[in-house]
Amino acid sequence: MTVSAQWRTGVEMEAMTGVAIGLLALYDMCKALDRGMALGPVCLLEKHGGRSGTWTASYDGCPLR
């Protein structure tokens, strides 16, 4: 998922919330098959702009890398 904003604010929390809600919707659709399925991991891979500038997850910080 890619998110961008035209204002001086970060959108990483909104993006991660959107991903988590998408996973919950998928769980809801598939729970008849397996109620014990796991959701995640959800992690931020990269962030550009804002006060903190550019940030990239280290391999240790994100298992998806």
Please give the span between the terminal C-alpha atoms of the chain, in angstroms, as a whole number: 15
With beta carbons less than 8 A apart as the criterion, state whether 39 and 33 touch.
no
Question: Is 34 annotated as catalytic?
Answer: no
Which of these is catalytic: 7, 8, 28, 53?
28
Specify which residues 35 forms β-bridges with.
Answer: none
User: Backbone phi, then psi, for 4, in 5-degree steps?
Assistant: -135, 160
Task: State the catalytic residues.
Answer: 28
